[in-house]
Structure 1
Amino acid sequence: MSRKVLLVDDDPPVREALGQTLELAGLSPVLAGSYIEAKDHVTPGFEGVVVTDIRMPGKDGFALLEFSQRIDPDLPVILLTGEGDIPMAVRGISAGAFDFLEKPCAPREFVAIVEKALKTRTLVLENRRLKRQVESGDAAARMLFGESRQADELRARVRSAARSSAEVLITGAPGTGTSKVAEVIHLLSAGSLRPFQKLAAASASPESLAGAFAAAEGGSLFLDELAALGPAAQFTLLELLDGDGGPRVIAGTYRDLDAEVAEGRFNPDLFYKLDVMRVRIPALRERPDDIPVLFRHYVSIACEQAALPQPEITTDVIARLMAQDWPGNARSLMNAAMRFAMGLNEVEQVEEQAGLAEQLARVEKSLLIEALRRADGHATEAAKALKLPRKTFYDKLARHGIRPEAYR
Structure 2
Amino acid sequence: MSRRVLLVEDDAPVREALAQTLELGGYNAISAGSFVVAKDHISRGFDGVILSDIRMPGRDGFHLLDYAQKQDKDLPVILLTGEGDIPMAVRAMSEGAFDFLEKPCAPKTLIAVLERALRLRALVLENRALKARATEGDAATRMIFGISKQAEALRNAVRNVAAKPVDVLVTGDPGTGTPKVAEVTHLLSPRARHPFEKRASAGLGPDMLLAALAEAGQGSLFLDEIAALPPESQYVLREKLEETGRARVLAGTYRDLASVAAEGRFDPDLGLKLGAVQVRIPALRDRPEDIPVLFRHYVANACEQAALEEPQVTPDHIARLMAQDWPGNARALMNAAMRFALGLTDQDEAEGEGLAERMARVERSFLVDALTRARGNASEAAKDLRLPRKTFYDKLSRHGLKPEDFR
> Matches of residues 6-405 of structure 1 in structure 2 within 5 Å?
6-19=6-19, 28-57=28-57, 60-61=60-61, 64-65=64-65, 67-69=67-69, 71-80=71-80, 83=83, 97-98=96-97, 101=100, 104=103, 106-107=105-106, 114-346=114-346, 348=348, 366-373=365-372, 382-383=381-382, 386=385, 388-393=387-392, 400-402=401-403
Give, as a single letter, the amino acid of the residue that structure 2 aligns with 1:159.
R
Distance change (3 Å), C-alpha of 1:147 and 1:34: same
Give, as a single letter, the amino acid of the residue that structure 1 aligns with 2:189.
S
Shifted more, 76-85 versus 199-208: the winner is 76-85
**In 1, are the aligned partners of 2:289 and 2:372 still within 8 Å (CA)?**
no
Whole-Å Cα distance in 2 between the matches of residues 218 and 393 of structure 1? 55
Whole-Å Cα distance in 1 between the matches of residues 101 and 333 of structure 2? 44
Distance change (3 Å), C-alpha of 1:73 and 1:363: closer
Length, aligned pairs only: 397
Deviation (angstroms), 1:19: 4.3
Structure 2: gaps (5+ residues): 351-358
Give, as a single letter, the amino acid of the residue that structure 2 aligns with 1:371.
A
Whole-Å Cα distance in 2 between the matches of residues 122 and 33 of structure 1? 26
**In 1, are the aligned partners of 2:43 and 2:72 still within 8 Å (CA)?**
yes
The DSSP-based 3-state class of the residue aligned with 1:142 is: helix
Distance change (3 Å), C-alpha of 1:218 and 1:82: same
Deviation (angstroms), 1:127: 0.8
Shifted more, 85-94 versus 145-154: the winner is 85-94
Identity of aligned residues (%): 60
In the TM superposition, what whole-angstrom CA distance separates every residue of 1:114-145 from its partner, at most 9, and x where no partner exists? 55543432331121121122222111111111
In the TM superposition, what whole-angstrom CA distance separates every residue of 1:214-245 from its partner, at most 9, and x where no partner exists? 11001100000001000111122223333342
Give, as a single letter, the amino acid of the residue that structure 1 aligns with 2:139.
A
Whole-Å Cα distance in 1 between the matches of residues 46 and 268 of structure 2? 59
**In 2, are the aligned partners of 1:289 and 1:366 still within 8 Å (CA)?**
no
Distance change (3 Å), C-alpha of 1:99 and 1:226: closer
Whole-Å Cα distance in 1 between the matches of residues 99 and 360 of structure 2? 43
**In 2, are the aligned partners of 1:195 and 1:218 still within 8 Å (CA)?**
yes
Deviation (angstroms), 1:328: 1.2
**In 2, are the aligned partners of 1:168 and 1:249 still within 8 Å (CA)?**
yes
**In 1, are the aligned partners of 2:4 and 2:47 still within 8 Å (CA)?**
yes
Whole-Å Cα distance in 1 between the matches of residues 86 and 13 of structure 2? 22
Distance change (3 Å), C-alpha of 1:99 and 1:267: closer
**In 2, are the aligned partners of 1:303 and 1:341 still within 8 Å (CA)?**
yes
The DSSP-based 3-state class of the residue aligned with 1:118 is: helix
Whole-Å Cα distance in 2 between the matches of residues 287 and 102 of structure 1? 41
The DSSP-based 3-state class of the residue aligned with 1:309 is: coil
Whole-Å Cα distance in 2 between the matches of residues 405 and 39 of structure 1? 36
Distance change (3 Å), C-alpha of 1:153 and 1:197: same
**In 2, are the aligned partners of 1:42 and 1:71 still within 8 Å (CA)?**
yes
In the TM superposition, what whole-angstrom CA distance separates every residue of 1:173-211 from its partner, at most 9, and x where no partner exists? 111111111011011010111110000000211121111
Whole-Å Cα distance in 1 between the matches of residues 378 and 201 of structure 2? 50
RMSD: 3.6
Whole-Å Cα distance in 1 between the matches of residues 346 and 27 of structure 2? 29
Structure 1: gaps (5+ residues): 351-359
Q: Which residue number corresponds to residue 354 of structure 2?
A: none
**In 2, are the aligned partners of 1:81 and 1:89 still within 8 Å (CA)?**
no
When normalised by structure 1's length, the TM-score is 0.83
In the TM superposition, what whole-angstrom CA distance separates every residue of 1:354-385 from its partner, at most 9, and x where no partner exists? xxxxxx99986643221345679886674356
Deviation (angstroms), 1:251: 0.3
Whole-Å Cα distance in 2 between the matches of residues 294 and 211 of structure 1? 36
The DSSP-based 3-state class of the residue aligned with 2:202 is: helix
**In 2, are the aligned partners of 1:315 and 1:370 still within 8 Å (CA)?**
no
Deviation (angstroms), 1:309: 3.1
Whole-Å Cα distance in 2 between the matches of residues 289 and 116 of structure 1? 22
**In 2, are the aligned partners of 1:375 and 1:382 still within 8 Å (CA)?**
yes
Give, as a single letter, the amino acid of the residue that structure 2 aligns with 1:401.
K
**In 1, are the aligned partners of 2:127 and 2:300 still within 8 Å (CA)?**
yes
Whole-Å Cα distance in 2 between the matches of residues 186 and 133 of structure 1? 20
Q: Which residue number corresponds to residue 5 of structure 1?
A: 5
Whole-Å Cα distance in 2 between the matches of residues 376 and 60 of structure 1? 40
When normalised by structure 2's length, the TM-score is 0.83
Shifted more, 20-29 versus 212-221: the winner is 20-29
Shifted more, 33-42 versus 253-262: the winner is 33-42
Whole-Å Cα distance in 1 between the matches of residues 181 and 381 of structure 2? 35
Shifted more, 143-152 versus 308-317: the winner is 308-317
